[in-house]
Amino acid sequence: MKIIVIGAGAAGTSAALETRKVNRDVDVTVINTEGFPEYSRCGLPYAVSGHIPKFENLVLHDEGWYDKFGKVRLMLKTEVTEIVPDNNVLKVKQEGGATRELQYDSLIIATGSKPSTPPIQGLEKKGIFNLRTIGDGKNIMNAGSHGKRAVVVGAGVIGLELAEALHAKGAKVTVIEFLPNVLLAMVDEDIAEVVKNKIEESGVRLLLNTKVDEAIGKEKVEGVIATNRATNERITVDTDILVLAAGIKPDTTLAEKAGIALGPAKAIKVDEHMRTNIENIYAAGECTEFPDFVTGASVRVGLGTTAVRQGKVAGTNAAGGNATMEHLLNTRVTKLFGLEITGVGPCSEAATKAGMKLIIGKVRGSTLPEYMPGGKEIIVKVLANEEGRLVGAQIVGEEQVAQRINVFAAAILKGMNVGEFSMLETCYAPPIAPTWDTITIAAEAAMKKLRRK
**Chain segment 339-396, per-residue pLDDT in tens:** 999 999 999 999 999 999 999 999 999 999 999 999 999 999 999 999 999 999 999 9
pLDDT of residue 70: 87
Residue 379 CA, distance from chain mean position: 23
Q: 329 to each of 183, 267, 413, how far by Cα in Å? A: 18, 18, 8
Asked if the model's pLDDT at residue 144 lies above 80, the reply is no
Determine the pLDDT at residue 41: 94
The pLDDT, as a whole number, for residue 431 is 96
| Res. 145 pLDDT band, cuts 50 70 90 | confident
| Tens-digit pLDDT profile for residues 222-279 | 999 999 999 999 999 999 999 999 999 999 999 999 999 999 999 999 999 999 999 9
Read off the DSSP letter of residue 271.
-
- C-alpha to C-alpha distance for 231 and 227, rounded to whole angstroms: 8
| The pLDDT of residue 147 | 86
pLDDT at 69: 86
Q: How many helices (H) and strands (E) does the chain have?
A: 12, 26
Range 338-452: architecture per CATH: 3-Layer(bba) Sandwich (3.50)
- Per residue in 389-438, pLDDT (tens digit) is 999 999 999 999 999 999 999 999 999 999 999 999 999 999 999 999 99
Tens digits of residue pLDDT in 190-231: 999 999 999 999 999 999 999 999 999 999 999 999 999 999
Average pLDDT on 157-173 reads 96
Quote the mean pLDDT of the chain. Answer: 96
What is the model's pLDDT at position 131?
94
| pTM of the predicted model as reported, rounded to 2 decimal places | 0.95
In terms of DSSP H, where are the helices of 202-319? 253-257, 304-318
Report whether CATH 3.50.50.60 matches the domain 128-244.
yes
Please list, residue by residue across 290-328, b when 16 or more beta carbons sit within 10 angstroms of its beta carbon and e when fewer do.
bebbbbeebbbbbbbebbbbbbbbbbbbbbeeebebebb
- pLDDT reported for residue 7: 97
* Residue 147, φ and ψ in degrees, nearest 5: 85, -10
Q: Distance between CA atoms of 11 and 285, rounded to whole angstroms? A: 5
pLDDT for residue 453: 80
Percentage of residues in the chain with pLDDT exceeding 70?
Answer: 100
Which CATH number, 3.50.50.60, 3.90.79.10, 3.40.50.720, 3.10.450.30, labels domain 2-41+55-114+248-318?
3.50.50.60
Residue 258, SS3? Answer: coil
Hey, which residues are catalytic here?
A: 42
Q: Where do you find CATH 3.50.50.60 in the chain?
A: 2-41+55-114+248-318, 128-244, 338-452
Please give the Cα distance from 301 to 332 (Å, whole number): 12
